């Protein structure tokens, strides 16, 4: 299982990486913003993406819209501080499959990942 | 024959009657052309008789004598000229050259780069960050000069008639009287500091600046005396300095923001370890990420403070925000939703401390110590010299020089002690080492307060308060159960070595420290 983490915060990426490590995922690629992620998805071909919303250069929602133009199936989980209902709806409309609001517990992130992957397999 | 000759000589006037020429056509009897004939012809054309006309006629006749009709054809010689009128100038306003350059550049920037400010020397790189589009003026600065309309001066034609000058038009130049003053000599000065705005041929100074788009290469860095509002974001490496407050609606990237008053970041900052925010008063932000922040009063963050180094002289009032990673030093109380992450992220909170003030105290103490040592050394040398029996003039000179050295060092210590006293007073009045956590204080969070360092061994659910009790021990107050327990029950304790050494404090300041 290849997972791409898209977040401008190195600390946040390392937290996610550590949670994913505990869950047994080791094939992880990191990107520091939407643009960086777009340049890496082609070569890495992730099976799951964890994407932050607020990032410089290209924010998460713009990245999802771009990515969904060529890839409709790979699941995306938005991991962000944006908890307002309108924001969640905007993200889902853009093509996000699941949503995790920061601060998250390792359990919450793990649950959302499992949920998302199960839904995809079904 | 004379009649025929008379037809071949004439005085020709130019259409504007500013020039009269003697014209003689080939075939004339040369003896017919005399000064009397020419003068008669001139008078018949209403030319004014005067010595100059007579002299010009003489010159014309000399030239005529040498004129070769066969080679050159018709003979023509100017015998009188008038004075043209000088038209009046329209009233106008001329900007000062440096403002005009910015105005031309901002006006043409989309179409013409030739007006862009050039590098000062050949080979020198042009600083695109400092290519401003804003005509920023100080209060009392000269912004230009008004030229009033002139009447012009009348002219006179060859016949002595007046040619009326056309007076200049009195264009209406509108200056906002509230912000711009015009002196009688035409000098135009700004009454207030701000941005000079030209709209519909009118000039005014706006005390605040609104940037409708991004602060980027199109605007250059901004250094503005009033409030600055940016409707979009601030791009990497750009700088905004405001004499009042800054509000940014979009995302701030790795930029530098400095304001004397408040800074409001509605879209947050993602500083990528290079962003800096220095607010003289409050810093209000949606979130702060990988930035260095100094806050003169309170810090109010809505969502998250991640990987930041923040020094707050007031309180941290962010009950809905999470702090993950980085170091927050707050002189006042600190109210937060969550600190650290359950996955374990080392996060440091310093309570009752403002790193910027601590830095100043530390540096001042080091300088005071050094100056004190210098003064003592000089005094010891003076004593040594005084005790020796030798009484040479060299010894006297040395003692004078050492005395000067000692008193100079002591004089430098005085203002430093005063500044330290003021700083300690500020710390005393604002210091409130209390931490309120609403939801979770996660493990690996480091709390520094009262000279101790506590690293949490386990995560503790909120709401809770960490404070220093009456005997100077760090305690944790569980607000749900009401229990108050020593923080050492949950954390690994050690002395806080980052705090400045209070034993170095001059004795008279030790009490307030």
B348 to chain A, closest Cα gap in Å: 14
What is the predicted pLDDT for the residue at B130?
63
Helix axes A60-70, A85-94, angle to 10 degrees: 20
A contacts of B338 (beta carbons < 8 Å):
103
What is the predicted pLDDT for the residue at B132?
67
Mind giving me the DSSP string for B273-327? EEEEEEESS-EEEEEEEEEEEEESS-EEEEEEEEEEEEEESS-EEEEEEEEEEEE
Cβ contact, residue pair A55, B290, below 8 Å: no
Sheet containing B187-190: give its strands across: B92-95, B142-147, B187-190, B180-182
A120 to chain B, closest Cα gap in Å: 26
Tokens 């969904």 found at: A68
Reference B251, options A17, A62, A6, A30; nearest CA is: A62
Using CA atoms, how far residue B131 sits from A3, B67, B109, B410, in Å, is 43, 67, 11, 47
What is the predicted pLDDT for the residue at B123?
53
**Tens of pLDDT, residues A35-66:** 999 999 999 999 999 999 989 889 999 999 99
Q: Tell me the residues of chain B between 414 and 473 that have a Cβ less than 8 Å away from chain A.
A: 440
A contacts of B322 (beta carbons < 8 Å):
81, 102-103
Mind giving me the DSSP string for B186-248? SEEEESSSEEEEEETTEEEEESSEEESS-BSTTT--EEESS-EEESS-B-TT-EEEESS-EEE
The ipTM, to two decimals, is 0.76
What torsion, rounded to 10 degrees, do the Cα atoms B381, B387, B389, B390 define?
20
Could you say which residues of chain B have pLDDT below 50? 111-117, 119-120, 512-513
Name the residue among B289, B322, B341 with its Cβ closest to that of A8.
B289
Reference B444, options B342, B344, B308, B326; nearest CA is: B344
Mutate to test the interface with A, among B232, B251, B254, B270 (most CBs of A within 10 A): B270
- As a three-state string, the secondary structure of A57-98 is CCCHHHHHHHHHHHCCCCCEEEEECCCCHHHHHHHHHHCCCE
- Note the pTM of the prediction, 2 decimals: 0.72
- According to DSSP, residue B160 is labeled S
H or E element in which residue A112 lies: helix A106-121
Residue A14 has pLDDT above 80, yes or no: yes
Task: In whole angstroms, give the CA distance from residue B327 to residue B447.
Answer: 10
Burial class (CB in 10 A: 0-12, 13-18, 19+), A58: middle
B322 to chain A, closest Cα gap in Å: 7
Contacts of A77 (CB under 8 A, 6+ apart): A48, A49, A50, A51, A96, A97, A98, A99, A100, A112, A113, A116
Q: Is B267 on the interface with A (CB under 8 A)?
A: yes
Reference B251, options B240, B262, B235; nearest CA is: B235
Task: In whole angstroms, give the CA distance from residue A48 to residue B401.
Answer: 77
Contact B406, B495 (CB under 8 A): no
Cβ contact, residue pair B267, A105, below 8 Å: no
What is the predicted pLDDT for the residue at B222?
92
Contact A32, B271 (CB under 8 A): no
Cβ contact, residue pair B306, A12, below 8 Å: yes
What is the predicted pLDDT for the residue at B126?
56
Task: In whole angstroms, give the CA distance from residue B285 to residue B301.
Answer: 5
**Tens of pLDDT, residues B120-165:** 455 555 566 666 678 889 899 999 999 989 999 999 998 889 999 9
What is the predicted pLDDT for the residue at B290?
94
Tokens 């009262």 found at: B450
Helix axes A60-70, A34-44, angle to 10 degrees: 30
**Tens of pLDDT, residues B71-115:** 888 999 999 999 999 999 998 899 999 999 888 887 776 544 444
**Beta-ladder partners of B24:** B9, B75
Q: Is B368 on the interface with A (CB under 8 A)?
A: no
Tokens 């015009």 found at: B182
Name the residue among B326, B338, B344 with its Cβ closest to that of A103.
B338
């Amino acid at each position: 299982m290849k997972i791409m983490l898209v977040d401008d915060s190195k600390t946040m990426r390392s937290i996610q990486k550590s949670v994913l490590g505990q869950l047994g995922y080791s094939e992880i690629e990191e990107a520091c913003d939407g643009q960086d992620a777009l340049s890496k998805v082609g070569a890495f071909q992730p099976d799951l993406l964890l994407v932050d919303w607020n990032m410089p250069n290209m924010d998460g929602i713009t990245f999802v819209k771009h990515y969904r133009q060529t890839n409709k199936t790979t699941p995306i989980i938005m991991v962000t501080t944006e908890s307002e209902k309108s924001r969640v709806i905007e993200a889902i409309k853009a093509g996000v499959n699941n949503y995790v609001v920061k601060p998250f517990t390792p359990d919450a992130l793990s649950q959302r990942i499992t949920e998302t992957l199960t839904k995809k397999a079904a | 024959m004379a009649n025929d000759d008379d037809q071949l000589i004439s005085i020709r006037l130019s259409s504007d009657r500013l020039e009269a020429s003697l014209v003689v056509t080939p075939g004339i009897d040369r003896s017919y052309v005399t000064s009397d004939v020419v003068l008669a012809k001139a008078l018949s054309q209403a030319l004014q008789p005067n010595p100059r006309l007579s002299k010009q006629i003489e010159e014309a006749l000399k030239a005529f004598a040498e004129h070769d009709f066969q080679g050159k054809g018709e003979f023509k010689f100017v015998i009188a000229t008038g004075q043209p009128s000088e038209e009046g100038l329209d009233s106008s306003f001329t900007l000062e050259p440096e403002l005009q350059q910015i105005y031309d550049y901002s006006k043409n920037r989309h179409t013409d780069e030739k007006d862009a400010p050039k590098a000062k020397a050949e080979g020198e790189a042009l600083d695109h960050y400092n290519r401003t589009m804003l005509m920023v003026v100080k209060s009392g600065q000269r912004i230009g000069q008004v030229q009033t309309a002139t009447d012009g001066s009348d002219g006179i034609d060859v016949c002595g008639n007046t040619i009326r000058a056309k007076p200049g038009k009195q264009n209406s130049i509108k200056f906002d009287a509230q912000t711009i003053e015009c002196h009688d000599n035409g000098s135009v000065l700004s009454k207030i500091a701000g941005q000079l705005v030209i709209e519909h041929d009118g000039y005014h100074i706006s005390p605040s600046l609104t940037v409708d788009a991004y602060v980027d290469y199109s605007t250059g860095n901004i250094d503005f005396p009033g409030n600055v509002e940016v409707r979009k974001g601030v791009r990497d490496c750009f700088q905004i300095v405001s004499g009042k407050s800054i509000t940014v609606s979009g995302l701030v990237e790795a930029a530098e923001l400095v304001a004397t008053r408040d800074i409001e970041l509605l879209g947050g900052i993602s500083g990528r370890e290079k962003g800096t925010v220095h607010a003289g008063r409050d810093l209000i932000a949606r979130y702060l990420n990988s930035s260095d922040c100094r806050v003169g009063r309170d810090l109010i963050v809505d969502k998250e403070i991640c990987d930041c180094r923040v020094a707050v002289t007031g309180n941290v009032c962010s009950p809905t925000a999470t702090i993950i990673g980085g170091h927050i030093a707050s002189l006042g109380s600190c109210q937060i939703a969550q600190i650290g992450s359950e996955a374990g992220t080392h996060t440091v909170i310093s309570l009752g401390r403002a790193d910027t003030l601590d830095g100043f105290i530390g540096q001042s103490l080091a300088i005071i110590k050094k100056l004190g040592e210098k003064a003592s050394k000089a005094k010891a040398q003076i004593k040594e010299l005084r005790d020796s029996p030798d009484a040479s003039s060299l010894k006297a000179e040395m003692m004078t020089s050492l005395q000067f050295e000692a008193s100079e060092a002591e004089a430098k210590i005085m203002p430093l002690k005063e500044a330290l006293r003021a700083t300690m007073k500020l710390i005393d009045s604002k210091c409130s080492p209390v931490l309120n956590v609403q939801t979770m204080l996660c493990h690996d969070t480091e709390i520094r307060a009262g000279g101790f360092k506590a690293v949490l061994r386990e995560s503790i659910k909120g709401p809770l308060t960490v404070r220093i009790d009456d005997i100077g021990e760090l305690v944790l107050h569980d607000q749900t159960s009401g229990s108050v327990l020593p923080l050492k029950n949950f954390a690994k304790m050690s002395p806080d070595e980052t705090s400045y050494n209070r034993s170095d404090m001059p004795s008279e300041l030790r009490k307030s420290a």
